[in-house]
Amino acid sequence: MRLEIKNLKFGYNSKPVLKNINMELSPGKITAVIGPNAVGKSTLLRCIARIVKPEGSILLDGKEINNFKKEDITRLVSYLSQENPARAVLSVFEVVLLGRIHSLSWKVSDDELNVAWEILKDMGIHELASRYLNELSGGQRQMVFIAQALVREPNVLLLDEPTNNLDLQHQLEILDLIRDLTRKRRISTLITLHHLNLAARYADKLVVLNNGEVCTSGNPESVLTPETIRSVYGVNARVNIGDDGIPQVTPISSVRSMRLA
Question: Which pLDDT does position 85 carry in this prediction?
Answer: 67
**% pLDDT > 90, the chain:** 71
* Three-state SS sequence of 54-114: CEEEEEECCEEHHHCCHHHHHHHEEEECCCCCCCCCCEHHHHHHHHHCCCCCCCCCHHHHH
239, 226 Cβ separation under 8 angstroms: yes
Gyration radius of the chain's alpha carbons = 19
Q: What does the buried/exposed string (b/e) look like for 237-258 if buried means 16 or more CB atoms within 10 Å of the residue's CB?
A: bebeeeeeeebebeeeeeeeee
Q: Rounded mean pLDDT of the chain?
A: 90
195, 36 Cβ separation under 8 angstroms: no
Q: What is the mean pLDDT of residues 161-170?
A: 90
Residues contacting residue 244 through CB under 8 Å, at least 6 positions apart: none
Q: What is the mean pLDDT of residues 236-242?
A: 94
Give the pLDDT confidence of 130-150 residue by residue, as tens digits.
999 988 888 898 899 999 999
β-partners of residue 91 are 132
**What are the structural domains of the chain?**
3-224 (3.40.50.300), 225-261 (no CATH)
Of 11-20, 98-107, 190-199, which range is least confident? 98-107
2, 25 Cβ separation under 8 angstroms: yes
Residue 125 has pLDDT above 70, yes or no: yes
Q: What is the mean pLDDT of residues 217-240?
A: 96
Question: Which pLDDT does position 82 carry in this prediction?
Answer: 83
Question: Which pLDDT does position 86 carry in this prediction?
Answer: 63
175, 146 Cβ separation under 8 angstroms: no
Q: What is the mean pLDDT of residues 106-110?
A: 73
Question: Which pLDDT does position 192 carry in this prediction?
Answer: 97
The DSSP secondary-structure symbol of 242 reads: -
Question: Which pLDDT does position 137 carry in this prediction?
Answer: 87
Q: What is the mean pLDDT of residues 177-200?
A: 95
52, 40 Cβ separation under 8 angstroms: no
Residue 104 has pLDDT above 70, yes or no: no
Q: What is the mean pLDDT of residues 65-84?
A: 87
Please state the pTM of the whole predicted model.
0.90
Question: Which pLDDT does position 87 carry in this prediction?
Answer: 66
Where does the pLDDT of residue 101 fall: very low under 50, low under 70, confident under 90, or very high at 90 and above? confident
Residue 237 has pLDDT above 80, yes or no: yes
